[in-house]
Amino acid sequence: MHFSVIIPVFNRPLEILALLETLAGQVFRDFEVIVVDDGSDIACEKEVLAFNNIMDVTYLYQQNAGQGFARNKGMQQAKGDFFVFLDSDCMLPPDYLSRVAAAVSDRGLDAFGGPDRAREDFDLLQLAMNYSMTSFWTTGGIRGKLKDPAKYQARGYNMGFSKEVFEELGGFRDANRAEDIEVSIRIKKAGFKLELVQDAWVYHHRKSSLWGFAKQSYQFGKNRIHVNRLHPGALQVVHLLPLFFLVGISLLPVFYIVMPVLCWIGMFFLLFWVGAILISATLEVRSIRVGFLAVLTSMLQLTCYGAGIALGFLGLK
């Protein structure tokens, strides 16, 4: 099996350098790397080509079109029989490709998705955001953890599919609006086998600010509505829970005026949730500072995602 590792990048030369260093250290060696620069103002050609003597690496440039179409361009140039997609803000453990190769071969997979996690040396905000995206108390703990791996919808930061899938389905149809979830749904509808490979995880840097994290969460909510319009049924009850959370918090002042008992009940559950996050994040990361930050990032993650769902329903920006 020959992998083509395809990485879209936009204005992130230092991050692509860190990712390429971890690719150069892979135990599994039968792969090529294709970096597609999606119209960056700060090009990374020098950083990419510095690895020419270490591994098979190609640098491509295109006018800005979005990460989905950048991946398509990479696949059009790829020589491998299986494509692996990574985001430029990821890093890999040395056995990542070995684990992917073993799962694809042993389980007969046509496509896969893998989880993400934070590295211990990430800063406190990164650790808090990672907790918010993976915790039972925010996402139900289902991101990268499923009893039935066949139910997983792969994410573009860590996913892949065979050349045969690309030739039949044509790759990604959208630039950057949940294009990874959309193609995952099409892959399954076409009868190909896509599963979660839980031990093929990547280290994933998230947004560098709370504002960036809030905007991203909001966009994730809107994207889910977009995908549901393309594939009715993609929106499930679990995706509406952040909207219920947002509505519940927004109604607390009203309940305080018209029905104080409901307000106090709501406050009890909210404080219980805050306490659960504070304790579990602190124990998980062994840092009370991350625990307090996780309360804030979790609140942002749920309310902003819920707002994205609501405005997506209304067709508003």
Q: What is the DSSP string of 213-253?
A: HHHHHHHHHHHHHHHHHHSTT---HHHHHHHHHHHHHHHHH
Q: Which CATH architecture describes the domain 3-114+152-206?
A: Alpha-Beta Complex (3.90)
pLDDT tens digits, residue range 259-297? 999 999 999 999 999 999 999 999 999 999 999 999 999
pTM, two decimal places = 0.93
CB 55 within 8 A of CB 23: yes
CA distances from 106 to 99, 109, 153 (A): 10, 8, 20
pLDDT, position 265: 95
| Domain locations along the chain | 3-114+152-206, 119-143+207-317
Query: Pick from 34, 39, 36: which is nearest to 11 by CA?
Result: 39
CB–CB of 155/180 below 8 Å? yes
The pLDDT tens digits of the residues spanning 200-213 come to 999 999 888 999 99
Q: How many helices (H) and strands (E) does the chain have?
A: 12, 10
Asked whether 116 and 131 are in contact (CB, 8 A), the reply is no
Specify whether the CB–CB gap between 43 and 114 falls below 8 A.
no
* β-sheet with 202-204: strand ranges across: 90-91, 202-204, 116-117
